Amino acid sequence: MKRRLILIVCTFLGLAWSVTGLAQNQARSDRVFIRDLEGIWMNEAYLKELRASRMPHQSAKKQRPVVVAIKREGRVYPFVSTDFEKAALMVVLDVEPDLKPDSFRLVLGKKNQPTSSDEASYVWFKGKRNAENKFDKLAIKELFMMNGQWADYEHIGLELGPAVNSIVLSGKYKDRKGREWSFEDNGKASFPDKSFYYELSINDKTAKCEYFEAEDLESPDGKRFYGYAWRRGELQLYEASVRRDRIRCEPTPFAFLKPQ
């Protein structure tokens, strides 16, 4: 059972090589560099569902989660696109302007080396800078997960985990006995009797419930699973385990938590 996607980003040698641009007559103030696009971009349709329900699996059934990540590794900018079931890994070679205002395309190669225009892949995007001269939203014609369909994407930071944690679980809580519980953006959880690091599952179609994987040094494999659900503004926690290669939650919550 695939409970999380492991993406291996290779370290490439040398400087990125630029394919010939489409147009060079735009003003320098309109120039977009690769570093201007660095970070995690998530499709807005999924984010809307996630913010409403705070339950990733439920949201994924309504809107497919798609992430585009551009993160610098040394002198290279790997490009990763994923829906958390499959992934594509490329290298950003250049950003080229279009003849149309606020329209550009990423030039992608399989490796960080001189690449002909016939061998390169192109991902078109449109966007305007905000008042801080940064991009916080883009329309992207994503090739690998969306088959070239246009969709709106939102910049959610440089790391996926903290961004999703902040939407779904992060905060301080009290249970019905007045005990304190907490989940932090950085993946640290504190229960009344222990603290540990956790990782949310975003798109596991085999799971029977929402869950997060927890660090547990006392278990044979160092892992433990907890289920959760948001109901009527209350966070309910469940014991969970792997059965028949699927995460399954117990039917009754062991904790009822009110946000503070």
pLDDT band at 28 (very low <50, low <70, confident <90, very high): very low
Among 16-30, 177-191, 194-208, 244-258, the least confident range: 16-30
- Domain 28-158 falls in which CATH fold? Lipocalin (2.40.128)
Q: Are 41 and 153 within 8 A, CB to CB?
A: yes
Structure tokens at 141: 């014609």
Residues making up the chain, counted from first to last? 260
Cβ atoms of 52 and 165 closer than 8 Å:
no
Question: Domain boundaries in the chain?
Answer: 28-158, 162-259
Round the CA-based radius of gyration of the chain to a whole number and report it: 21
| CA nearest neighbour of 166 among 59, 251, 47, 252 | 47
Q: 176: which 2 tokens? A: 């019905």
**Over the stretch 235-259, which tens digit does the pLDDT of each residue have?**
999 999 998 889 999 999 999 999 9
pLDDT in tens, 62-86: 999 999 999 999 999 999 999 999 9
